[in-house]
Every structure is written in structure tokens, then in C-alpha cells.
Amino acid sequence: MSNYVTTPIFYVNAEPHLGHAYTAIAADAYCRFQRLRGHEVRLQTGTDEHGDKIAAAAAAAGITPQAYADRISALFKEMAGPLGIAFDHFIRTTDPAHRRVVQGALARLHDQGDIVLSDYSGLYCRGCERFLTEKELVDGLCPDHRTPPDPLSEQNYFFKMSRYQDWLIDHIRQHPEFITPERYRNEVLSFLSEPLEDLCISRPVSRLTWGIPLPFDQNFVTYVWFDALLNYLSGLGYDPAAGGPAGDVARFWPRAEHVVAKDILKPHAIYWPTMLRALGLAPYWRLHVHGYWNVNDTKMSKSIGNVVRPLELVADYGADAVRYFLLREMSFGLDAAFSQEALEARYNSDLANDLGNLVSRTLAMAQKFTAGAVPEVGEEDGQLDRELVAAVGRLGQEFDLRLADFQFHRALQAVWEVIGLANRYIVVNAPWELAKDQGRRGRLSLVIYNLLETLRHIALALGPVMPETARLMLTALGLGGVDAQGRLGQWGGVLRPGAPVKLTAPLFPRRERHPEETSPPAGPVAAKQASRQEAQAKGQPVADSPGLIDFDYFKRLDLRVATVLAAEPVKKSDRLLKLTVAAPEPRTVVAGLAGHYSPEEVVGRQVIIVANLKPAKLMGIESQGMVLAAKDGDRLLVSAVAGEVAPGVRVS
């Protein structure tokens, strides 16, 4: 089956913001999901570059409209890579091929009487670049731009859209999947309950020259929406003069799915299908409509300065974290709120603690308890094992159902339910305790295998949403790409006993936020406090009694739980081990543990380190911390916490 998925072509009157990124990420994740199902998929995005606002922005910048469009279009195209958007075609409405399609379609509709010249008086919104009806106004203002429209009378060309109103109503009613979610379908049907006006599809060159000239009247250019919507056909190589669909049009149309924000519902749900009908083409298959991203309860707007720039978030958190947050936080179709605090919370809780900790613990235990390989499984499973297998099976069904319907947040909820169950499975089975009993080695092998197999399915599910994370997880399991690793939810048959399992650096190192320093208190203690701060600044202990330090000095020690990822003897030393630890980011620590612990004994173990110790070179190796240990006679025992915790957790 072939699927043709599109974002809207983004208007180049402003630089990319979070709303653009969400639309593109949602479309990309859906395409990746369809490819996993074995479908052929084509993803198209691009930029809309004609109209009043572009001409005005270019004039303000002192450059030509083409130069302005080139600059902003490049920003949208460059946004795709850092966000992991794998588009197949990037279209621009200034492309010569698109221009030919628009003029060909206009000529055809004009010849068949669907485009006529008429006088018109109405209320024109320059922000929307179209005439508004009285019904659309709110308190006399444009509902989107909150400005009064200008009364305008002029002669223009109109597309006889009203001819196709009854057909469109019938099509929407007979095809409930045509507009999703349902609330937007109902909104369109409500609008269509009133007589549909014809669509003005031109602007006189006396007030706008930046557009595609009408092929039958050079005194007019094409209205931006009639121009823009045809990109979905021109990107496939559509020829309006051909006798029927050919090439990629025949291959992909009408199995087309458009992903748009709710502010452009009307053009996509009313203008576009009637244009297709007039051209003798079947309407697209589905229109998926999402809500707005609000900042402080307000829609993002360049004019009020609350625009969130997606590439800045990627630079700080990484592409997969941003993709996860946006798809998890928004219920598709409804508005969602963005805040740095919410993103930080999702990162630390869902990604670092839940997913990252599960991956790190499982791989470390495989290294320590099953020699870094997929274990042979022979022992009978128990109730808890069957619950885990059943949960993975349900995940396969739930994920497929939800993602097919653009319910990304519900699909990800299902994934995190399995992640939570797997983390509990570790706690209940306590592999570190099983390892102490030779009689329970079979049970230990089964537990490790079940955890590795669960990671495989989690990676498969995360592939569409977090492609790089999925790749890293599958690589650690000794597997290749997401598309060649079995079916999600189908247990077993892929991981082979004896296949190597590799350690990986923490997928999502926990982020710590440090409170700002406060001013010294005023009053009688100010002088003493200032003295103590001066001593602290010099790195000196601050004590109220000889040999004692105060709490402020103790707080300067950054003690962290670290997971040992790898260990090896230091050459020419009989007491040093070179450790690679995650705390949560990978670092090298040289510790005097040789003679007390073998390298194999410390791999996978959690230790406590001084994380803010000044780096020092030991035997030519830079050590970035110190492992805490207790010496009891001839014995040396590394310090640890009483249970498994996430790497990087602070000790206080």
C-alpha cells in the first residue's frame, strides 16, 4: 500500500517555531510507523512564498521578495535535519514546476466555466490575506489577528466553489474518516450548513505583484491559497492538461493524508476538496487537524514575543527528547501548553529515570551476570514473566491502533506502561540476589533474557517517535535497524543465545537544575557570614570548632551514585583499575581497587563517587572523580546505596 503524507507548506513570513516543528514531527513519526507496517510512504513538506505579507516583509528588510523567500525557506528546510524529519520532497511555490501546474489548473477551470470575473465588496483582512464574512468576525474583529478588516471593493476572479457544496457535505457525511478528530468534522459541517460563497482567487497587480500571474489575464496574480493548495499535486508531478492521473499521481493519489493545524482547517477542508472535484480528481483520503501550542495560556505569536524556537530546544535537550515531549504532551486535536519546566520534568522523569535507567540497568546486568551475551533460556516461566510477555503483546496491538489514528500520546502511554512494568520486574526479581545462588542461575538467565527482549520491543515502538534512541538500543542488543527486527508485540525469535550485548552510555543523562545564589542575610550575622563565604571562595574549610566543618562546606561536595560500565587494569600498577562510570554522563575514574576487586566484579556495580573533584592524572590517565570506599583492616569495600537507583542520583 502507498501512503502520501504532507505537512502544510509553511508560510515564509516568519522563521520556524514550535508549531511548525510539531506538525512536521507528527507527520514524520506517522510515516516511520507506516514504513514499519510495510507500506510505501512519501512525505512532502515545503514553503508557501507568495502574497501580501511576504512582499511587505521583503520591503521592510530592503530586499526582493524572492531573496526574502529564499532566506526563510532555507531555514525551514534546514530545520528538518536536527529534528530528524526524513522528508522525500521539499516543495516551494516559487518552483517553476509548481508555477506551471498552478497556471495549468487555472486555465482548465477557467475554460470549463468554474472561474469567472466579478465585482466584489467586502471586508478584507490583510493578516489572513482574504475577505471575511460578517459571521466570521468576533466583536467586529478578525478572530485570528484581533484587528478590524478593511472595507474593500474591487474586481476579481472567483472560483465557483458553491457549485460543489452539496457534493462536499455528502462526502463528509459518508466518509467519517475524512476529517479527524471528529470535532473538526463537525465544525466544517456546521460551517457548510450556511450557503457557501464563491472563493476569490485573484489579486489585482495594482496592489500586489508578488504572485503567479493568471494565464488568462495578466492584470491579476493568483490568490495565495489557490496557489498553495495545489502544491500537494504539483509535488507529485501533476499535469492538468493530461487525460488522467499518471506517474506519482496515479501511484499515490488519492491515498493522501494532510497534517495541519486548526487555523488552516477551512482552506483544507472546504477550498481544497472542491478544487479537486472541479479538476476531476478524487478528494484526499484524510485530513488530520491538531491544536495550538500555547505559552503562558497564549497562542505563540511573533508580535507578542512568546515564540519558542525548536532548534534551540534541540541544541539543549537533543532531537529525540524534543520529539518525545511534543508528541507525548499534546493530545492530538486539542491545544497544549509549552513550558521549559514541563519539558525538564518529562526529560528527567520519563526519559532519564524510567527509560534510561531501565536500559542502563538491564545492559549492565547482562554484562555482569550473563557474560555480556543473550543468555540461553531453559527454565519454566512464572506468573510475573507471563505478565511481562502479555504486556508486550498488548503493546503491539495498542501502539498500532493509536498511532494509526494519530493518537501519539496514547501510544506513548502504552509504551511507558511496559517500561514501568519492566522496572518493577527488576525490583521484584532482584537479579543481584539470584546471582548469589548457584541453584538459581536458570532463573537469573530467564530474567535477563526477558528484560533484553522487552528492550527490543520498546525500541521497536519508539522507532517512529525517537529514531536515534531506538537505533542506539537495538545496536546495544546487537541488532540492526528498526525495520528488520521482527514485529512489535510478537515475543521471541530475534535475540539469539550467545549474541553479544553491549553497554551504552546513558541515553538521557539526568539534568540537574541549580538554584540561584541568594544575597547574604542582613543584620548582626552579616559579617560572620561574609567571612565564611570568603573562606569558602578560597577553598578553605569553615569550622565553628577545631577539626569540624559546617554544613555549607559539606554541601560543596558533589557525591553521586555511579554505575560502572567498564573496568580494566592499569598497566604497570598492581592496585589501580581504570573505570568507565555513568554518573549520569560517562567519565573515567581511576580507583585503587585492584587486589580487592577484579574488573569483572565491579562492572554493573553501583558505587558512590566524588563527582566535583579536580581532575588529576594517575599513571598517565586523567581521573575525573574518586570512588568512596571503606577500609577495614586488609579489606577494601566500595561504598554503595542500599538498592538500585538511577546513575547520577545525588547522595546527601
Q: Tell me the C-alpha distance between 585 and 82, whole Å.
A: 22
Active site residue 299: yes
Given 50, 53, 110, 142, which residue is catalytic? 142
Side chain identity at 387, as an amino acid letter? E
> What SS3 class is residue 3?
strand
User: Which 3 state secondary structure label does DSSP give 506?
Assistant: coil
Any catalytic annotation for residue 128? Answer: yes
Q: Is 213 helix (H, G, I), strand (E, B) or coil?
A: strand
CA 168 to chain CA centroid, Å, is 34
d(CA 114, CA 198): 10
Asked about 31 being catalytic, the answer comes back as no
Query: Which residue among the candidates 31, 53, 98, 125 is catalytic per the annotation?
Result: 125
Bridging pattern class, strands 40-48 and 115-125: unpaired
Q: Cβ distance 369 to 435 under 8 Å?
A: yes
| C-beta atoms surrounding 251 within 10 Å | 15
Mark whether 200 is an active-site residue: no
**How many angstroms separate the CA atoms of 424 and 422, rounded?**
5
CB 519 within 8 A of CB 398: no
CA nearest 245: which of 229, 259, 256, 260?
256
Is 631 a known active-site residue? no
Q: Are the beta carbons of 422 and 358 closer than 8 angstroms? A: yes
What is the biggest distance separating any 2 CA atoms in the chain, rounded to whole angstroms? 101
How far apart CA 321 and CA 317 sit, in angstroms, is 6
Answer positive or negative: Cα dihedral of 304, 259, 264, 154.
Answer: positive
Report yes or no: 534 and 526 within 8 Å, Cβ to Cβ: no
Positive or negative, the CA dihedral 605, 611, 617, 620 is positive
302 an active-site residue?
yes
| Residue 205: all three cell numbers together | 497587480
Is there a catalytic annotation at residue 145?
Answer: yes
Distance CA 185, CA 175 (A): 10
Task: Exactly one of 89, 145, 160, 266 is catalytic; name it.
Answer: 145
d(CA 114, CA 39): 37
**What order of strands is seen across the sheet that includes strand 298-299?**
298-299, 293-295, 336-338
Catalytic: 125? Answer: yes
CA 647 to chain centre: 25
Strand partners, 2: 40
H or E element that contains 124: strand 115-125
Q: Tell me which residue of 234, 297, 218, 224 sits closest to 264, measured CA to CA.
A: 224
Catalytic residues: 17, 20, 125, 128, 142, 145, 299, 302
